[in-house]
Structure 1
Amino acid sequence: MNTPTPSSKPFPRWDDARAATLDEPGLLLYRSNLLGSDLRITNYGGGNTSAKVMQRDPLTGEQVEVLWVKGSGGDVGSMKLDGFSTLYMDKLRALKGLYRGLAHEDEMVGYLPHCTFNLNGRAASIDTPLHSSLPYTHVDHMHPDAVIAIAAMARSEAITKQVFEGTVGWMPWLRPGYELGQQLAAYDKAHPGLRGIVLGGHGLFSWGDTSKACFENTVDLIERAQSWLAQERAARKVQVFGGQVVDTLAADDARTTLARVLPVLRGLSAEGAPKLLHVNTSPEVLEFVNSADLEPLAVLGTSCPDHFLRTKIRPLVVPQSVYRLEGAALRTALQSLLTGYRADYSAYYERNKRPTSPPLRDPNPVVVLLPRIGMVTIAKDKATARIAGEFYVNAINVMREANAVDRYVGLPEQEAFDIEYWLLEEAKLQRMPKPKPMVGKVGLVTGGAGGIGQAIARRLLADGGCVVLADIDAEALATVGTDLAKAYGADHVRGVRCDVTDEASVMAAFESAAVEFGGIDVLVSNAGIASAAPLEDTSLELWNRNQDILAKGYFLVGREAFRQMKAQGTGGSIVMIASKNGMVASNQATAYCAAKAAEIQLSRSFALEGAPLGIRSNVVNPDAVIRGSKIWTGKWSEERAAANKIGEGDLEAFYRDRSMLKRSVYPEDIAEATYFLAAEHLSAKSTGNILNVDAGNLAAFTR
């Protein structure tokens, strides 16, 4: 396989007309968003930008110089103006008199809040001194793959000089912070006329007198690096990563393998906290995992701190011989690989820890590479897993380009450790808010496009969960999926068309859940219909339709959920949305009542077999959920009105008034009961139970 050529898509360009409408902070934001819009310029969340702006001091009324710089966290591509820290430049310059040297540089971070301009609450990042120390009005610090590839070469300094013809300086790796800011300023002063500086193993610093000039300088330098690398590759005609030694599996075979392997991997790597998985089968990833150099390069680790902070210092490679296994043999083999990885990571910690180092963190891998299939990334939530994968693609790009021209060199292990276990990084982690209770959990909801299904999905999503919506109505599924993704984030929602009466369709839905998230933790079996007819008029067709959807359908989705939860080995919760009619018969609804009773008994059977595995199964029994429920939009409404000798418009009042509490039942009420039974932190000791949500119906009491 040949080296992928650089994207022919042009780099973003400056729009003078738009820029003319903006003030200096607005220009900085425009520049930042523009740079962050292209992953060839910088990775998600990586890099930072700044501008030194003259502004009126709110205390003295005088014009003062203010540093606007991207604050801690955030992403230059999507940030808003409130993502910038603002600090007095005169106070930042005065900090030099307080600096006690490299051994004490972390204490300088504590002085940054004292430099805040205009009570800005955005915390200043560790990179602030890099921008305040350089004597330029506008400064960019980007992490482009092309420049990092040069920065990660064994002959990085000489090649930097060659590529940029002496217009860009080079400094050896140094951890971001106050000392680096001072050294950048000193280097720049000693080498006047530079357009930028490459920091070994890290990235690019560039600048300009105006926001536009800075932007164009940054992009031009990156384009130059990318073009030079492409020309060198073409001239050398090297085999990328030593050549391809295996072929990519056919898409269907790869998907089937992932659906079998990922739930086991997810469960084994959980270590007391749920995790989600993300699959990446991009050409860059497949070229790497199928190559001769996969294992020797993977073990070297990544170079850029932004990469390994999100991916750990190195990935886990799973041999084909392991993921070809099934059942207990697969679990044993994966457990052995993970045990070895944890031991290796713990040894890395012990070798490099310092007296003040934070405790060992989760020793499980973040990046898992599967030859012939692709890459799987594992994290506490879907977005973090996805972004970790994007960062490792950056690392792959760097390794490919560096090895094609020179020799790739990872960051020294001690330096990598000191970044990963930096006390300032630990303090940032400790300041993060406690995650919502369903973060890392996945629920599959059948009938997900209906009123009750939507309400249940929203309740799971509201507390941080992810949801797979399964429904036979593809059009409604697409609409609801789009709405929920917009409200809760695209990483949290997936939709899959599923006919619960079709075994293959059900199995495909759970296969999709495994490939998208790694598995499921919660099944809400909610797909349903309703029908009514006098007993003597109940046709076999009507009987079978109720049994197919409400009994066979609940069995099929429950069985697949059970299998997947068992493979994960971390328990789970099955919630069946049955009905009051499963407890007490309704007039002229024989087929429906019998099928709903079957659901309740099915749940009890699941609870019995699931208990040794930590799999709970419970029932929610709604009654008369009229408003927002799809089953009342068909003949059921007409039939129930006729059976009760009332008009259709009187149904809600009829059911409300017959209840003991005289209250209507809504989809949100069913969702709240379902959430209680689904959530481990609320109902861990509840299984085999029935929760009625019917505003009180004496005949349906379960005791």
Structure 2
Amino acid sequence: MTVTELLDRAHALGSDPRNTNFAGGNASAKGVERDPVTGGDVELMWVKGSGGDLGTLTAEGLAVLRLDRLRAMADTYPGVEREDEMVAAFDFCLHGKGGAAPSIDTAMHGLVDAVHVDHLHPDSGIAIATAQDGPELTARIFGDRVLWVSWRRPGFQLGLDIAALKEANPQAIGCVLGGHGITAWGETSQECQANSLEIIRTAARYIEEHGRPEPFGPVIHEPLDEVARRERAAALFPLVRGLCSTDVRQVGHYTDSPEVLDFLSRAEHPRLAALGTSCPDHFLRTKVAPLVVDLPPEASLEEVTERLRVLHAAYREEYAAYYARHAVESSPAMRGADPAIVLVPGVGMFSFGKDKQTARVAGEFYVNAINVMRGAEAVSVYAPIPESEKFRIEYWELEEAKLRRLPRPKPLAGRVALVTGGGSGIGAATARRLAAEGACVVVADRDLGSAEKVAAELGARAHRPSDVAVAAAVDVTSEEQVVAAVRQAVLAFGGLDLVVNNAGLSLSRALLETTVDDWNLQHDVMARGSFLVSREAARVLLAQDLGGDIVYISSKNAVFAGPNNVAYGAAKADQAHQVRLLAAELGAHGIRVNGVNPDGVVRGSGIFASGWGANRAAVYGVEEEKLGEFYAQRTLLKREVLPEHIAAAVFALTGGDLSLTTGLHIPVDAGVAAAFLR
């Protein structure tokens, strides 16, 4: 029952962004269970583990600790200078098998004498916590029901401080943690939740009723209208992503929410942005400060582009100087000097991370920071924790240890793929393989419903499916639709790294039965369509300056002359030579162009299902349902080629092991001697 109550409370609090942000905050509950070793009762604490999210917390995400051992640590505590040593001791307090790793907040929850404890990062609470006169505001707003605790880095000493404060003030329901957030407690889960909400809502109500109307100052420029804003964002995003991937390749997220646009339209945004965020959960994801473009919305694209390059170089220099100012001999090495947040007045916010979820959450946290700054400036002056304290957390050995526990990135992590014809057959199999290897995938297909189905499948296990894959409707014969699909990919993930030209069709007819329309259709889809997709993708790849891959799904018919197949074979030969031409042209930019030549992919194939299979079966004099078997028997390996085999070849070309290969066609045909490359 204790665990159920804790999870219910965590979900209720964590699902509302007004209470805490994704993966932010913590909650715990204490109770008694039977010890399976002694048969006696044992006091336990269940607390959200390191890296978990309150809104989606499960029992497996809880750390379970023995309270007698946890409380005994207070007797052996060596003092604040060595408090980090206590974290390793948490492992010796664990009870039972499994469970999550204890977080740094474990001491706070265990040492406070209350059955239930919440630690949250609500915008309203952090606004009071970061106000210049936070202690006075806390007393004015809450009286003695909620008390002020001056900033201290999370850890064992903070747990002792809050425990002592509660013991000395039995009337208190919680506290405001300077520069950080809030903590509340209760003897029942319902009471604890009610106390948390009372603090959050009371602070929000005070800010609303007493705050000045324009805390960010007057409007100095209006944002661009939505169409112009999105167009500018799509034009800038690949460049910004490339700059912000100088150290490590990043995925991007674009935000043009009202909060962001309003902040960037106001006179005070440069001053406030320069102060940086305050709550550790914020700046660990957003870095200590964003990069802010100091040009008005009406500046030309060329002016903004050039200014971004200058500002990015300056940002990297300043970040290196920030590290040098505060690093000591034991500090971890500098992780990277690129910004995680880039703010462009009139356009919005670009946020970055190792994957789409990390990039999106970084943006969400900066929106939280904007709300915090608005609240603090409304009733006081925004005063975040000192830069030196931010460094002590950002380059904390405990944070470094958390990073070391992360699983090794998948081969395509941080890469964005666009797969045409991705709604079925080879395209769908390729999209699945690329996503499984860590890529963000844009599933592009003329049939939007099929693309949406595949994209939903790819993202089914993600916190938000669109963090893994999105669907795009595109007829590759339409230049406008191809441009729109590439723009959609850019706005969804920041750019492109890997493009698979897979869209295709075939009409199997003898020469004298092949019409001009038959010829034009197949060349429009495969030859012209691949050209259009490659051209628009290359614009993005060149702007990013990160290299990339373009893969053509061609055919053994590009080199093998079969009967009744002139239009299809010629179009595939066109695609095959595009591979060679583009490899020669784009290689200087680190962009590799390769092809895959399948044969006889019957099962799951959209082409075969659309009539091509019946036609080919008639040509070869076999039953259509036995066509795959027929193709297999004519190969050297006597095996049927499946969509998954083509997807494996795409991954082999793009996964890293063939990094010096370009201009190559890989046959995936189970061995057709007549189609051997010469």
The two structures have a TM-score, normalised by structure 2, of 0.97
Match in the other structure for 1:263: 238
1:320 and 2:320 matched:
no
Q: State the alpha-carbon separation in 2 of the partners of residues 648 and 89 from structure 1.
A: 70
Q: Paired residue for 1:14?
A: none
Q: How far apart are the structure 2 equivalents of 1:352 and 1:653? A: 68
Could you say which residue in structure 1 is the equivalent of 2:49?
A: 71
Distance between the aligned counterparts of 1:538 and 1:253, measured in 2? Answer: 45
Tell me what 1:607 maps to: 583
Tell me how far 1:68 sits from its aligned partner: 1.4
Counterpart of 2:308 in structure 1 is 334
Alignment of 1:449-598 (within 5 A): 449-487=423-461, 489-598=465-574
Greater shift after overlay, 312-321 or 135-144? Answer: 312-321
Helix, strand or coil at the partner of 1:437: coil
* Structure 2 counterpart of 1:89, from 48, 67, 86: 67
- In structure 2, what is the Cα distance between the partners aligned to 1:244 and 1:322? 13
Runs of 4+ in structure 1 deviating by more than 4 angstroms, as ranges, are 321-327, 329-332
5+ residue gaps, structure 2: none
> 1:362 aligned to 336, 347, 350, which one?
336
Mapped to 2, the partners of 1:269 and 1:301 lie a distance apart of 18
Report deviation, 1:171: 1.2
The change in CA–CA distance for 1:642 and 1:614 in structure 2 (over 3 A counts) is same
Q: Tell whether the 8 Å contact from 1:126 to 1:177 is kept in structure 2 after alignment.
A: yes
Query: Within 1, Cα distance between the matches of 2:160 and 2:394?
Result: 23
Q: How does 1:81-480 map to 2 (within 5 A)?
A: 81-233=59-211, 236=212, 238-320=213-295, 324-326=299-301, 332-480=306-454
Counterparts in 2 of 1:454 and 1:116: CA distance versus 1, 3 Å: same
1:652 paired residue among 628, 639, 646: 628
The 8 Å contact of residues 326 and 391 in structure 2, kept in 1 or not, is answered as: yes
Return the alpha-carbon distance in structure 1 between the equivalents of residues 597 and 297 of structure 2.
Answer: 44
Alpha-carbon distance in 1 for matches of 2:664, 2:19:
55
**Distance in 1 of aligned mates of 2:373 and 2:331:** 30
C-alpha spacing 1:702/1:325, structure 2 compared with 1 (3 Å): farther
Q: 1:685 to 1:324 in 2, by over 3 A?
A: farther
Q: Secondary structure at the match of 2:46?
A: strand
Q: 1:159, CA displacement in angstroms?
A: 0.7
Is the contact between residue 301 and residue 411 of structure 1 (CA under 8 Å) also seen in structure 2? no
Q: Does structure 2 retain, via aligned residues, the 8 Å contact 1:33–1:78?
A: yes
SS at match of 2:216: helix
Task: Report the secondary structure of 2:118's partner residue.
Answer: strand
Structure 1 unmatched ranges of 5 or more: 1-22
* 1:628 pairs with 2:596: no
In structure 2, the residue corresponding to 1:206 is in which secondary structure?
A: strand
Answering whether residue 6 of structure 2 is matched by residue 31 of structure 1, we say no
> How many angstroms apart in 1 are the aligned matches of 2:397 and 2:7?
30
C-alpha contact 1:160 1:168 (8 A) present in aligned 2: yes
RMSD: 1.5
2:247, 2:337 within 8 Å by CA — same for their partners in 1? no
* Aligned-residue offset at 1:323: 9.4
C-alpha distance in 2 between matches for 1:331 and 1:254: 15
Tell me if structure 2 keeps the 8 A contact 1:352–1:414: yes
Contact 2:434 2:441 in 1 (8 A): yes
Distance (Å, rounded) in 2 between the aligned partners of 1:529 and 1:338:
45
Asked if the contact 2:553–2:595 (Cα under 8 Å) also holds between the matched residues in 1, the reply is yes
Tell me by how many angstroms 1:490 deviates.
2.9
CA contact (8 A) 1:322 1:334 kept: no
* Separation in 2, partners of 1:324, 1:607: 36
Deviations 1:264-293 (A, max 9, x none): 111122124321100011111111111111
Q: Is the 8 A contact 1:574 1:618 kept in 2?
A: yes
- Provide the secondary structure at the position in 2 that maps to 1:574: strand
Shift of 1:317: 0.4
Does structure 1 conserve the Cα–Cα contact (< 8 Å) formed by 2:123 and 2:371?
Answer: yes
Q: Which is further off, 411-420 or 485-494?
A: 485-494
Q: Aligned partners of 2:156 and 2:612: how far apart in 1?
A: 71
User: For the residues of structure 1 that align with 2:136 and 2:236, how far apart are their CA atoms?
Assistant: 46
Please give the alpha-carbon distance, in whole angstroms, between the structure 1 residues aligned to 2:295 and 2:152.
39
Tell me the distance in 2 between the aligned counterparts of 1:155 and 1:615.
55
Distance in 2 between residues matched to 1:423 and 1:286, nearest whole Å: 36
Does the CA-based 8 Å contact 2:421-2:503 persist in structure 1? yes
Cα 1:319/1:586, change in 2 over 3 Å: farther
Which is worse superposed, 219-228 or 119-128? 119-128
Instruction: Tell me what 1:691 maps to.
Output: 666
Q: Indicate conservation of the 8 Å contact 2:541/2:547, yes or no.
A: yes
Report Cα offsets for 1:169-223 as digits up to 9, x if no partner: 1111011111111111222222231111111111111111111111112112211
CA contact (8 A) 1:86 1:120 kept: no
Pair 1:418–1:272, CA change in 2 (3 A): closer
CA 1:443 to 1:324, structure 2 compared with 1: closer, same or farther past 3 Å? Answer: farther
* Matches of 2:404 and 2:626, distance apart in 1: 56
State the distance in 1 between where 2:285 and 2:461 align.
26
Q: CA deviation at 1:586?
A: 1.4
Deviation at 1:650, TM superposition (A): 2.7
Which residue, out of 661, 666, 669, partners 2:642?
A: 666
1:700 positional shift: 0.5
Deviation at 1:40, TM superposition (A): 0.6
Q: Distance in 1 between matches of 2:397 and 2:642?
A: 50
Query: Which stretch of the first structure deviates more once superposed, 342-351 or 110-119?
Result: 110-119
Contact 1:257 1:323 in 2 (8 A): no
Distance 2:296 2:189 in 1: 54
- Letter of the 1:139 partner, please give it: V
* Cα offset, 1:243, TM superposition: 2.1
Q: Is the 8 A contact 1:248 1:372 kept in 2?
A: yes
Are the equivalent residues in 2 in contact too, given 1:58–1:118 (CA < 8 A)?
no
Q: Helix, strand or coil: the match of 2:369?
A: helix
Q: CA deviation at 1:373?
A: 1.1
Shift of 1:152: 0.8
Change (3 A) 1:399 1:272: closer
Deviation of 1:571 after TM superposition, in Å, equals 0.9
Instruction: Name the counterpart of 1:20.
Output: none
Q: Distance in 2 between matches of 1:653 and 1:208?
A: 69
- CA offsets, 1:618-668, max 9 Å, x none? 110011100000001122122212222223223122211111111110000
Task: Work out the CA distance in 2 between the residues paired with 1:151 and 1:181.
Answer: 18
Deviation at 1:561, TM superposition (A): 1.4
Separation in structure 1 between the aligned mates of residue 232 and residue 506 of structure 2, nearest angstrom: 38
* Partners of 1:426 and 1:405 in 2: CA distance: 36
1:54 to 23, 32, 35: 32
**Identity among equivalent pairs (%):** 46
Matched-pair contact (CA < 8 Å) for 1:323–1:330: no
